[in-house]
Chain A
Amino acid sequence: MWKFFHQMASPPHFYRIAKVLIPWFAVPGLMLIAYGTYAGLFVASPDYQQGDAFRIIYIHVPAAYLSMMAYMIMAVGGGIGLIWRLKLAHAVGAAAAPLGATFTFLALVTGSIWGRPMWGTWWEWGDPRLTSELILLFLYFGYMALRSSIDDTAKADKASSVLALVGVVNVVIVHYSVVWWSSLHQGQTLFKKGGPAMDADMLYPLLAMILGFTFLFGAMLARRLRTEVLYRERRTRWVRDLVMSPEGGL
């Protein structure tokens, strides 16, 4: 088991394997998303309260889910990087941050677009999820700003990992405090937990979208990781051999 991890974590090995793996993530991901989009837009029957506007959840929910997962990945990667001094783990954080910020942005914008017909406003402070997502976006900005303002890569890795770990504790506190706060102000929520059970024709496309987005995210993360690894290892022997080899190493 350990041997497997060590092999995976060795940069040249990862660089080669990731190239092979990317299509294996991207193709099923795109297929699931294609099915989810078609079934979500045209097959699922309209919600009895929200009408066709509910179809926005097929983008909003996967994006919101990935925005949090990306932060978790960043924090776990940072923790592993700090404890076991694994350089690849730090690279994961660097690659996941812009992706996470993008999905947070998507979740915010789609939530806001949903709010326009439902609440009659583009932004509703009373909604705890949108507010938490906004704070999460700021956390991503802070992480990326810290990373970019430290020139030395090793130092930037460690400093931003500490920030990610502090942030992940905070994300939980943010969530609960915002829920408490909105309950004071009788806010409405986008999708209630334990609400009326979803019909199968609504639910399956959503599950397909979530799974599809996750696969797609994996592929995107792997592609960014390859760039990170290549850049970080630019002075090493294996990169030289790769670049000088006749078939190239793009």
Chain B
Amino acid sequence: MFAGLLAVARRDLLLAWKRPGDVLNPLFFFAMVCTLFPLAVGPSPEQLTFSGPGVLWVAALLATLLSLNTLFMSDHEDGSLDQLLVSPQPLPVLALGKTLAHWLISGLPLVLISPLLAMTYRMPGDAMGVLMLTLFLGTICLSLLGSIGAALTVGLHRGTALLSLLILPLAMPVLLLGANTVSLAAGNEVYATGIWALGAYAVGAISLAPYATAAALRISNE
């Protein structure tokens, strides 16, 4: 049952290994957006501490979005998406495999470098842990939501702009939960609700999104 998941994930990781640019571009983008903000509003420490969680989260959301439109694009262009659709494996599982690889390639690195950027925003140590945890859960949600959007827009000419239009409103609850939880943690307040909500969202997304992605892939590949 999970043979297909592992096979697809392994192949996509191998492909990413041969083209490391795909991994690094969203990371650079993430770091650059985080740099832009202090340049725009000034380096005052209070302001940076106050807005840090929001900025980091918005930057992570945009970086994920940036990496999403290539999720099915190359598969569509070289015909291997067609081959996946006629393979004897259940398509939702294959879609989950692709999403897993996408998360490992573009979501997890964001989580790992986020403390570095959070440090420049003078985020307290406890809040940094919460930031990593929310980004960990949040990027999973975003990759899964994004895979639905990427599957719906695969093969369309104006795919990239459309993808953002479709995904951003869907991603708003994730952003809202994530950023506010980090803010609460940074202000030494109770933040458990947000973590639980994000965790529940992630579980729900893992179990439902692959079906939507699979349906969308079949539809847009007709």
Measured CB to CB, the residues of A under 8 A from B are 82, 135, 138-139, 141-142, 145-146, 149-150, 152, 155, 158-159, 162-163, 165-167, 169-170, 173-174, 177-178, 180-181, 184
Contact = CB atoms under 8 A, between A and B. Distances in A.
* 10 smallest beta-carbon distances between A and B, as pairs: A138-B169, A177-B173, A142-B166, A158-B219, A173-B173, A139-B169, A142-B165, A159-B219, A162-B216, A170-B170
Contacts of A138: 165, 168-169
Contacts of B6: none
Given A142-B169, A150-B156, A177-B173, A159 B162 contact: no
Contacts of A146: 152-153, 162, 166
A178 B175 CA distance: 11
Given A145-B165, A155-B220, A159-B219, A181 B208 contact: no
B37 interface: no
Contacts of B148: 162-163, 166
A229 to B, nearest CB: 22
A175 to B, nearest CB: 9
25 contacts: A138-B165, A139-B169, A142-B165, A146-B153, A146-B162, A149-B158, A149-B162, A150-B156, A155-B219, A159-B216, A162-B216, A163-B148, A163-B152, A165-B212, A169-B208, A170-B170, A174-B169, A174-B172, A174-B173, A178-B173, A178-B176, A180-B177, A181-B176, A181-B180, A184-B184
A145 B165 CA distance: 8
A145 B162 contact: yes
B140 to A, nearest CB: 15
A142 B219 CA distance: 17
B62 to A, nearest CB: 16
B215 interface: yes
Contacts of A178: 173, 176
B165 A141 contact: yes
B102 to A, nearest CB: 18
A146 B153 CA distance: 8
B61 to A, nearest CB: 14
A145 B166 contact: yes
B141 to A, nearest CB: 10
A131 to B, nearest CB: 9
B215 A135 contact: no
Contacts of B197: 177, 180
A177 B176 CA distance: 7
B175 to A, nearest CB: 10
Contacts of B168: 138
Contacts of B180: 181, 184
B193 interface: yes
A162 B152 contact: yes
Contact of A162 (B156, B172, B212): B212
Nearest to A156: B219
A235 B148 CA distance: 33
B158 A135 contact: no
Contact of A170 (B156, B173, B176, B216): B173
B203 to A, nearest CB: 13
Nearest to B198: A177
Contacts of B208: 169
B78 interface: no
Nearest to A174: B173
Interface in B129-160: 148, 152-153, 156-158
A105 B114 CA distance: 38
B155 to A, nearest CB: 10
B50 interface: no
B201 interface: yes
A45 to B, nearest CB: 39
A93 B165 CA distance: 19
A10 to B, nearest CB: 25
B219 A162 contact: yes
Interface in B61-99: none
Interface string B176-204: 11001000100000000100010001000
Nearest to B175: A177
Nearest to B164: A142
Given A135-B172, A159-B219, A184-B184, 11 more contacts: A142-B166, A142-B169, A146-B162, A155-B222, A162-B148, A166-B148, A167-B169, A167-B170, A173-B173, A181-B176, A181-B180
